[in-house]
Structure formats: C-alpha cells, structure tokens
Amino acid sequence: MESMGKESMGKKKPRPRRSFTPEFKAEIVELCQRGDRSVGQVAKDFDLTETAVRDWIRQAEVDTGDREGLTSSEREELAALRRENRRLR
C-alpha cells in the first residue's frame, strides 16, 4: 500500500477562485439580513464560503454608512491609483 504524502493528509482541495456580480452579492447580503436563515445556512445553500458572505455583509454595511471603513467606490479608486503609481514608476 502506498503511503500518502503529508500534503494530501487532512487538507481540503482549494476552491477555484470565482467572481460574483455586485447584484448577486447584494442578493446574498439581503437574504442574510432578512434573518430567515443564518449566514452559515445561506452560504451552504449557495455553495459559498461563510467567510466570503460575512465579508460581503461587512462591505455592504460600510457602503450604507452603518460601519466605518472604505466604501466600494473608495476601494476601486485606491486600487486604480496604486496601479497608476506602479505604472508611472
């Protein structure tokens, strides 16, 4: 019998990186905020990670002014400015 390498023991396969539309994220956040299901249940129902869903909820709260932090548009602007700075260097 072949022994398995340490790398494959107990590790989950990495999820492929997926991207979601802002509309989809907003729908998921709305489902969670409605309170019919837990964040964990919504994540499971849509094959999402609970961490990602919680991040979307946090960002939605920032965007609506319910939480401190950079809004989505501020994050986009910051990323664009950083790209431009790298290009100019």
Those residues with Cβ within 8 angstroms of residue 29's Cβ, 6 or more apart along the chain or in another chain: 53, 56, 57, 60
- Let me know if domain 19-88 sits in CATH 1.25.40: no
Res. 4: pLDDT tops 90: no
- Helices 72-88 and 50-63: crossing angle in degrees, nearest 10, is 100
Give the pLDDT confidence of 48-89 residue by residue, as tens digits: 999 999 999 999 999 999 999 999 999 999 999 999 999 999
CA angle 45, 51, 53 (to 5 degrees): 50
Give the residue-averaged pLDDT of 41-49.
97
Neighbours of 75 (CB within 10 A): 14
Q: How far apart are CA 14 and CA 7, in angstroms?
A: 12
Q: Domain coordinates of the chain in residue numbers?
A: 19-88
